[in-house]
Each structure stands twice: as structure tokens, then as C-alpha cells.
Amino acid sequence: MKGLRCLIVLSMLFVLAACGAKEEPMGAKELKLQVGDLKKLLIDNKNGEIEIVGNTDSDVIQVTAHVSSNHINKDKLKLDLQGREDTAYLDASFKGQFLSMGSGSVNLQIKVPKHLQLEIKSHKDGNIRVSDMSSEVKIDNVNGNIDVLNTKGPLNINSRDGDLNLHDITSDIEIDNINGHIKVAHVDGSAVIDVGDGTLDIDHVGKDAMITQSGNGKIKIGDVKGTVTQKTK
């Protein structure tokens, strides 16, 4: 029993040391993919900042990945961009971080043809910024601020912790945010928003707004052209 306790203590010390150490940059890497008949970009990046800008001047997905590691083997990095059927898959992550004594992050700067649908799945930590897209955008996020600006397709965001700043969206939006401030302005479509323990500031919505609140944060409603429905759960 004493040996088991010592092993647990040592394991905890290793984890704490890994978490406290500073990440070291591993340099930038470039990826490119011709779009052709592809209709969607699916991004799998667990840890790191993501910036995506829609582009009308190119038919190529261009990715710049800034990689940093904290005592994790660089061979655990998977950085890959490839097309399968109608979808481009961008995988930028360190595999096996949960069981390793280190960690890593990949900050992504992406230029993408603006007509592609965009999905960011299972993102755990880091800010996200998306701008100038003309198709559907879906974001699944755990921790980090999200900015979406000047997009024309439907917008769907599921987020746990972080502020959301959404401006100039010409289609419908659907938001579920547990904790953080949500600011929505200049949405031509409808807005369906689920607010947890955060606040909401919504203004200049072209159609209906449905707001569901499960916490006690402040709700500020400005100009909404359609019907405003508020409820608690």
C-alpha cells in the first residue's frame, strides 16, 4: 500500500511539473490543398488558437501551423491536410497527451475559399476567430473566446467557457454558451440563443429572437425586427 501511495504522489508531481513548464516553439509548418470539388473543411485541433479568413482570390486551402511543445515528443504531432470525397480534413494535434507527461499546442492561421462549409470539432483550449465566410459555420468549443465576423451562411456555436462576439451575420444563428459574455449585433436572420451563467447583449436582429436562460446573467435586448421570446429552464 505504501508503494502504491508513493507511485501516486510521484505521478502527480510529474503532471504538475509538466503543467507548470513553459511551452517551447517548434517552428512554423505550411500545408496546402487544392479545393477542386470539395465542399467542406473539417478541423480537428484540440489545443491552440485558430484564425480562419475566407478568400475569393484562390481555390487553395492554405494553412500556417505554429507548433509549441511542453516536454512532449514531437513525433506525437499529427499535422495533416487531405481531401476525402467532398470534405477536406485538417488534423493538427498531439496524440496521446492525456497519458503523456507533456503537452503541446498548434496555433493555426488558415486562408480558405469562402464558399466552403466550415466545421471546428471538439476544440478544447484557445481562441477562435472566423471572418469573411459565405457558407455554413459550425464550432464546438470547450474553452476560449470566439469571434465570428462578416459571414453569410448559417452559424452554429456550442461553447462551454468563453466570450462570444458575433457581428454582421447575414443568415440564422444558433448559440449555446454555458459561461461567458455573448454579444450579437447585425444579424439578418433569426437568433436562437441558450445562455448559461453568462450575459447577453443582442441588437439589430432582422427576424425572430428566441432566448433561453438557465443562469442569472444580465440580458440586454436592443432592436429585433421579429418576435422576441424569452424563457428560463
pLDDT tens digits, residue range 206-218?
999 999 999 888 9
What's the pLDDT band for 7 if we cut at 50, 70, 90?
Answer: very low
- Parallel/antiparallel/unpaired status of strands 77-84 and 117-125: unpaired
Tens digit of pLDDT for each residue in 62-87? 999 998 876 666 666 789 999 999 99
The dihedral of CA 46, 52, 54, 58: what is its sign? negative
Report the number of secondary-structure helices (H) and strands (E) in the chain: 1, 20
Q: What percentage of the chain's residues is helix, strand, coil (to nearest 5)?
A: 10, 60, 30
Cβ neighbours, 10 Å, residue 84: 9
Contacts of 6 (CB under 8 A, 6+ apart): none
What's the pLDDT band for 27 if we cut at 50, 70, 90?
Answer: confident
Tens digit of pLDDT for each residue in 126-147? 999 999 999 999 999 999 999 9
Closest CA to 191 of 165, 141, 154, 231: 154
Q: Inform me whether the pLDDT recorded for 2 exceeds 90.
A: no
Whole-prediction pTM: 0.85
Instruction: Give the integer Cα–Cα distance in Å for 208 and 4.
Output: 60
Instruction: Give the integer Cα–Cα distance in Å for 131 and 52.
Output: 6
Instruction: Give the integer Cα–Cα distance in Å for 76 and 217.
Output: 41
Q: What pLDDT was estimated at residue 99?
A: 40
Closest CA to 115 of 167, 57, 54: 54
